[in-house]
Structure formats: structure tokens, C-alpha cells
Amino acid sequence: MCGIIGYIGERPACEVIVRGLKRLEYRGYDSAGIVTEENGELFIRKGAGRIDELTGKLGFLEMPGKRGIGHTRWATHGVPNDINAHPQRDCTGKIALVHNGIIENFAEIKEELLSKGHRFESDTDTEVIAHLIEEELKSSESFEEAMRRALLRLKGSFALGIIYTGEPDRLYFVRNESPLVLGIGDGENFAASDVPAFLEYTNRAIFLDDREYAVVTKDSYVVKNLDTGETVEKPIHEIEWTLEMAEKAGFPHFMLKEIYEQPRAIRDAIHGNADVIRTVAEEIAKYEKIFIVAMGTSYHAGLVGKYLFQRLAKRVPVVEDASEFRYEFDDLVDEDSLVIAITQSGETADTLAAMKLAKRKGAKVLAIVNVVGSMATRIADLTLYTHAGPEIGVAATKTYTTQLTVLTMLAIELARVLGTADESYLNALEEGLNAIPELVESVLKHDESLRELAESLVDRRDFFYIGRGISVPTALEGALKLKEISYIHAEGLSAGELKHGPLALLEDGVPVVAIAPSGRTFDKMVGNMEESRARGAFVISLGDRGELKRLSDVLIEMPETDELLTPILYAVPLQLIAYHLAVLRGNDPDKPRNLAKSVTVE
Ligand code: AGP
């Protein structure tokens, strides 16, 4: 996730852009840059670091011109450094652009452009777009035509801001699967990834839809369909948010915003890994001995990974809490081992220590990480990114479901490489995964009823979360979310374990959250729900089968999907229950007591 802000009008563009970038910093903050134009010349200043620091160091506020575009970056391709920061430009230096998203087919386009003599400065996927437009311009009648022709070749997600010296009065903005909004002013216009970037100047906004672009001058704008080139009529929305509300895109907390971002985040995780997953799967197929190390929510993702690897690739990984792995496995890990480290921050002390141990012992280390350029990516031999964008709330939400997405892709591809599962089943599973963002959207519609449910449970002191098979980690994760932000005691366990002790704790009204999707163990779950109800428990079930109604006090109806994909989908209502309980109990879910986003000490 990155932030884009563009301005054209009568003010010094750099001032508007720097203020906008500050408001977009939550979308990414590893590097930033600005391009402005005056008298047919482009001025570009960019570098790695935070906006405030760069503003002083690079003199952002001294840049000339009344039109320009800025960018704050959350790296996806290419480490965060001065060269990879946006804007990126073409060989002639006449076209500059900024990008939010991932170009899946950039490698093949880059190769083609290299063979035509283009020279690249950066490692980014973004730079190919500038060169591709430059290339298309040679045989196009207008810049707009060249831009359209180039963009039609791109696969992936992209929001773009584009400036061209040949057309001194305009800017171009494009949206495909990454957000972009126009801000309509009086004798000036704006565009940004998000409304807060321009809200202090105008509250009149036009939300571009996917595959639309806008041609914006200081006094006009026109929105067109990227595929047909035809003009699209767009309504102007009057935004009623305050600035503070707008930074959270109207959500009261970052956590809720991040929960709602999951459809987009999962899509980006799929797109962002589509090209690399095969190579990684081929590499890890060489290892029979697999360890997965992680902490907290990432550890739960690892447990889901274990079920996926077992079922699909017939490999049985050992999943270990990284703080234990360091001391218990040092003589078991060796050069025949693969260690998969899962960490959103890439900075968790115990996980890093486990990775270093694995490296010392000669093991191959694969990291699944959200933060590009973090320590974990520097230690690992191979890295897969989750592409969730920055997560500000301490509770992991979108980073968890994107970790699960990447693990699912990896298990599917590993099964292909090893020939351990039927190809038609793997294809169907892949299709199912592609449909998950839409299903998550439908699950988010339960939000209000989950809030009402939370209201009825606000005074309960203990919760139990139960599941079987691949739903056991979902139960653990549901309980962890509840504990960390609502401060209610919760236990997650395998439903089979109930009778072996915890059942003694069930009495009238104790909530038992049963994760009960269709699948191998559904019938057994029915038995566990019956035994819980018989002890007076208040059973809340999550599932896709009608008979759950009879067995539950509350049924959260879930869409049907393959059992192996349910951990992604079922995490969402559990996050919402925890969120609402936290808020109803007067807690700040973004900053739970005693906890930090990255645990950088042991
Ligand atoms: C989960 O909501 C927590 N924030 C925590 O358990 C977290 O998952 C854990 O600290 C691991 O962090 P990491 O993924 O950054 O390594």
C-alpha cells in the first residue's frame, strides 16, 4: 500500500503535496518523493525515510511549479532506497509517475523494453510503466492514447498519478484495484489515494472506479473508461468527515478499518505472489524436514499452514513457537531442514533469533513477511510478502488473513510440484481462493449483528472457542483476539479436548464459540456443541449448514467454501466480535494495554 497525492492549480504545488503526504503517511512510510513541473521542466526529489525528515533534507518545500504529484511508499518490488522511491521516469525524463499497487507482468515487459534499448534506474515494477508509455508514444497520436495503450498491457493492481512535460496544463490519474479519489476545487483540483489528503482544501470528491482514469486540469476534469476510452459521468460526493475521521477513512479505529481492508489486502496478496510462488515451491519441495516458527497470531497462521501442507502436499511440518524453537530444536535443525518463519513486522525478537539459529545450522530459511526490507527479509534466503499494507492497530487482522492466503498458495503450488493432489482439485481450490475476497465482503455485512451480539455478551467473564482440524487454529486465534483487546479471559482449544478437562468450566451462560464449517469433522463438532449446550453454555456457531440453527443460541451464517479456505473467512467475524467487545468495554482496540505492535525484545 502506498499513498498518492496530486495537485494542479494556483498554489505552490509542493506545499499542498507535502501536507497531503503527511496525511497519507499511514499508508506507507519507508520512502517518499515529489515531482513538480515549471516551464516544461520536471523537478524530482525523492529518497528513503519519513516525510518530515525528507522535507528538510531534500527541500521538498522549495520545489517550483503549480502542478505536481507526490508519493509515500510502502515497498513491494525493490527495497526501500532513494532510487526505488517514486516518482519513476522514462528515458527522456519527460514522463514521471507514481504508483500504488503491484504490476504482475512487469518482468516480461521490462525484458521487452530492455531489448528495445530502454535504460532502467530502479528495481521497481513501477518504472516499466513510464518506459512503456514512452515506447507507445512513438506510435500514438496523443499522450493519452499512448498511456491507454500502455496501461491496457498491465496485469495487476495500479493507482497511478502521471505527469508529462509535453502537456503543461494537465495531470492523469488512473485506478485499477487500488484506490484513487479526485478532489474538486475552485480553480484547482486534487487527486489522492484517500480523502484526508485534500480535505482541508475541498470536501467535494469523485471516487474513481476500477479501470477508470481521469484527465485533470486546474479548471476541469473528465473521467474515462480505460478499456473503451469513453467518458463516464461521475457523481460528486460532499464529504462530511472531519479530518481526524478521514485519516481512518471514516472508521472510528484503525483496527476496524484494517478489518474492512481485508478483501483488498487478500487480493493484493494473491496478485503479488502469483509470479513467484512456483519458484519458491520448487525450492522448498527439496525439503522433507520442515519447521514453521512464529509468535502470536503469526504462530496461528503457521498452525493453519501445517494442516494445508499435510492435506495437500503430504508434508508434515513441525510448528513451533519461535521462543521455544530456539532452545528445544537447536540440535534437530540442520542443513537438510527448511525453516519457514512467519512474521508480519519482520522484527519479532524471538522469530529473528530462531531464524538466525536455523541459518547457523545451515538450514534453508523462508520468511513470510509484511514489512518490506525488515530484518527477517535480510536474514532469510527467500521471502514471500503478504502485501497487506501497513497495519497500525496492535491486533493483527489483515496481516493474518494475508499470511493464510500466502500459505494456501504455497501449499497448493507445493502439491503441484510434488504431484500429491489431484490437479483438478488444486485448480478448484485456487479458484476458491480467488473468490475469498468477495466472500469476505459478504461476511463483513454481519458487522451490525455481531455488534448487537457483542452488546449481549459484554459482561461475560470467560469465553471458549472450539474447532476441529483446520479450525483449531481459528479457535486459538479467536480467543487471542478477544483476550488482547477486550481483556476478557478466553480459551481456544480443539473441540475434542473439551471432555478432557475444560468441560468442567462450562456453566449457565458461558459463551462457547464453535467454528463449525462443513468438512471432515462437522458431525463431531455437532456432538461437542450438544455437550456444551447440555451444560448450559451459550453456543455461538459459525458455519454454513442449516442444522447449526437447532444446535446454537446464535448462528453466524457463513458462505460455503472449501474447508481448507475457511480459516481465512472465519477469522473475520471473530475479529469483529473482539473489536466490538473491546469498544463496548471502553478499551482502545488500537492500543491494548501492556502490548506493542512489534515485540523486539525476548
Ligand atoms: C496479534 O494480534 C498480536 N499483535 C501478536 O500476537 C503478533 O501476532 C505477534 O507479536 C507476532 O508478531 P509478528 O507477526 O510481527 O512477528
Q: Which of 253, 254, 255, 297 to mutate to test the pocket of ligand 1 (most atoms within 8 A of CB)?
A: 297
**pLDDT in the model for residue 256:** 97
**Torsion angle of C-alpha atoms 428, 429, 431, 437, degrees rounded to 10:** 150
Same domain, 440 and 450: no
**Same-domain pairing of 415 and 497:** no
Q: Is residue 413 part of a domain?
A: yes
pLDDT at residue 440, as a whole number: 98
Q: What is the mean pLDDT of the chain?
A: 94
| Alpha-carbon gap, residue 381 to 29, rounded angstroms | 25
Distance CA(565)–CA(146), nearest Å, equals 41
**Quick check: is 601 in a domain?**
no
Q: Determine the distance separating the centroid of ligand 1 and the alpha carbon of 218, expressed in angstroms.
A: 46
Single-letter amino acid code for the residue at 409? M
How many Cβ atoms sit within 10 Å of the Cβ of residue 553? 15
Tens digit of pLDDT for each residue in 397-440? 999 999 999 999 999 999 999 999 999 999 999 999 999 999 99
Say whether both 234 and 105 belong to one domain: yes
Alpha helices in 492-600 (DSSP H): 522-534, 548-551, 566-584
367 lies in some domain? yes
Residue 384 host element (H or E): strand 382-385
Q: DSSP per residue over 293-352, as a string? A: EE-HHHHHHHHHHHHHIIIII---PEEEEHHHHHHHSTTT--TTEEEEEEESSS--HHHH
Section 445-461 average pLDDT: 97
pLDDT computed for residue 252 by the predictor = 93
Structural domain range at position 181: 3-239
Residue 416: count other Cβ atoms within 10 Å of its Cβ.
Answer: 21
Residue identifier of the C-alpha nearest atom 6 of ligand 1: 296
Q: Which domain-ending residue is among 425, 444, 463?
A: 444
User: pLDDT digit string (tens) for 399-408?
Assistant: 999 999 999 9
- Structural domain includes residue 599: no
The closest-lying atom of ligand 1 relative to the alpha carbon of residue 345 is 15
Ligand 1 atom at minimal distance to the Cα of residue 376: 16
Q: Going by CA atoms, what residue is nearest to atom 2 of ligand 1?
A: 395
* pLDDT given for residue 237 in this prediction: 86
- State the greatest distance between any 2 C-alpha atoms of the chain, in Å, as a whole number: 80
Question: What integer pLDDT is reported at residue 243 of this predicted model?
Answer: 73
The percentage of residues in the chain with a pLDDT greater than 90, rounded to a whole number, is 86
Q: Are residues 438 and 357 in the same domain?
A: yes
| pLDDT tens digits for range 334-385 | 999 999 999 999 989 899 999 999 999 999 999 999 987 688 998 999 999 9
Q: Are 400 and 457 found together in one domain? A: no
Q: Are 205 and 187 in contact (CB under 8 A)?
A: no
- 239, 265, 290 — which closes off a domain? 239
The HSE-up count of residue 465 (CA atoms within 13 Å, CB side) is: 27
Same domain? For 258 and 129 the reply is no
Q: Which residues pair with 294 in a beta bridge?
A: 321, 342
Give the side-chain half-sphere CA count within 13 A for 426.
21
Closest atom of ligand 1 relative to the 348 alpha carbon: 16
Query: Residue 191 belongs to a domain with what CATH number?
Result: 3.60.20.10
* Ligand 1: centre distance to CA 40 (Å): 49
**297 Cα–ligand 1 center, Å:** 5
Please write the tens of the pLDDT for every residue from 469-508: 999 999 999 999 999 999 999 999 999 999 999 999 999 9
Asked if residue 108 is part of any domain, the answer here is: yes
Ligand 1, atom 7, lies closest to the CA of: 296
Tell me the H-state helices in 180-261.
243-247, 254-260
Share of the chain above pLDDT 70, in %: 99
User: Which atom of ligand 1 lies nearest, measured to the CA of 595?
Assistant: 4
Residue 420 burial (C-beta neighbours within 10 Å; 0-12, 13-18, 19+): middle
Q: Which of 348, 476, 587 to mutate to test the pocket of ligand 1 (most atoms within 8 A of CB)?
A: 348
Is 118:134 a contact under the CB 8 Å cutoff?
A: yes
Domain boundary pick from 375, 409, 444 = 444
Cα-Cα-Cα-Cα dihedral of 417, 420, 425, 431, to 10°?
Answer: -30
Question: Cell numbers at residue 283, please?
Answer: 525450492
**Which residue type, as a one-letter code, is found at position 104?**
E
482 CA to centre of ligand 1 in angstroms: 14
* Span from the CA of 369 to the centroid of ligand 1 (angstroms): 11
Output the ligand 1 site: residues, CB below 6 A.
Answer: 295-298, 343-345, 348, 351, 394-396, 484, 598-599
The predicted pLDDT at position 242 comes to 72
pLDDT score of 238: 86
pLDDT at 246 over 70: no
Q: What is the distance in A from the centroid of ligand 1 to the CA of 298?
A: 6
Whether residue 109 has pLDDT greater than 80: yes
The model scores a pTM over 0.75: yes
- Which of 253, 258, 298, 300 has most ligand 1 atoms within 8 Å of its beta carbon, as the pocket-test mutant? 298
User: Residue by residue, what is the 3-state secondary structure of 73-99?
Assistant: ECCCCCCCCCCCCCCEECCCCCEEEEE
- Residue 36 makes CB contacts below 8 A (sequence gap 6+) with 13, 14, 17, 42, 43, 63, 64, 65, 67, 68
**With 80 as the cut, is the pLDDT of residue 37 above it?**
yes
- Statement: residue 131 has pLDDT above 70: yes
Q: What is the pLDDT of residue 245?
A: 64
Do 206 and 79 fall into the same domain?
Answer: yes
Say whether pLDDT at 465 is over 70: yes
Query: Which entry of 155, 359, 591, 597 is annotated as an active-site residue?
Result: 597
In a domain, 360, yes or no: yes
* Average pLDDT over every residue of 205-220: 94
Overall number of domains in the chain = 3
Shortest-distance atom of ligand 1 to CA 399: 14
Between the CA of 296 and the centroid of ligand 1 the distance, in Å, is 5
Beta strands in 152-266 (DSSP E): 156-164, 171-176, 181-184, 189-192, 204-207, 212-216, 221-225, 237-238
CATH number of the domain where residue 571 is located:
3.40.50.10490
* In-domain check, residue 225: yes
| Distance (Å) from CA 50 to ligand 1 centroid | 24
Say which of 2, 66, 257, 398 is annotated catalytic: 2
Average pLDDT over residues 449-461: 97
Query: Residue 451 has which C-alpha cell?
Result: 455488534
Exposed / middle / buried, residue 107 (Cβ in 10 Å: 0-12, 13-18, 19+):
middle
- Tell me the pLDDT tens digit for each residue of 182-209: 999 999 999 999 888 999 999 999 989 8
User: What confidence tier does 599 reach under pLDDT thresholds 50, 70, 90?
Assistant: confident
Atom of ligand 1 nearest to the CA of 294: 16
**Together in a domain, 100 and 161:** yes
User: Is residue 587 predicted with pLDDT exceeding 90?
Assistant: yes
559 and 530 assigned to the same domain: yes
Instruction: Tell which one of 599, 600, 601, 602 to mutate to probe ligand 1, the residue whose CB is within 8 A of the most ligand atoms.
Output: 599
- Domain membership of residue 321 (yes or no) is yes
Residue 597 is among the residues annotated as catalytic for this protein: yes
- Residue owning the nearest CA to atom 9 of ligand 1: 296
Separation of CA 396 and ligand 1 centre (Å): 6
**The predicted structure's pLDDT at residue 177:** 82
Give the atom of ligand 1 at the shortest distance from the alpha carbon of 295. Answer: 11
Q: What is the pLDDT of residues 55-79, one digit of tens each?
A: 999 999 999 999 999 999 887 777 8
Neighbours of 79 (CB within 10 A): 15
State yes or no: is 2 an active-site residue: yes
**Same-domain pairing of 435 and 476:** no
Nearest atom in ligand 1 to 403's CA: 14
- Stretch 536-556: mean pLDDT: 96
Give the Cα separation of 420 and 140 in Å (integer).
50
At 602, the pLDDT band (50, 70, 90 cuts) reads low
Indicate if 235 and 169 belong to the same structural domain: yes
Model confidence at 178: pLDDT above 90: no
Instruction: Using the predicted structure, report yes or no on whether residue 134 has a pLDDT greater than 90.
Output: yes
Distance between Cα 596 and ligand 1 center (Å): 9
Mean pLDDT along residues 564-575? 98
Q: What 3-state class would DSSP assign to 486? A: helix
pLDDT in tens, 17-36: 999 999 888 777 789 999 99
Pocket residue to mutate for ligand 1, from 295, 379, 383, 392, most atoms within 8 A of Cβ: 295
Answer yes or no: do 341 and 474 share one domain: no
Residue 303 binned pLDDT confidence (cut-offs 50, 70, 90): very high
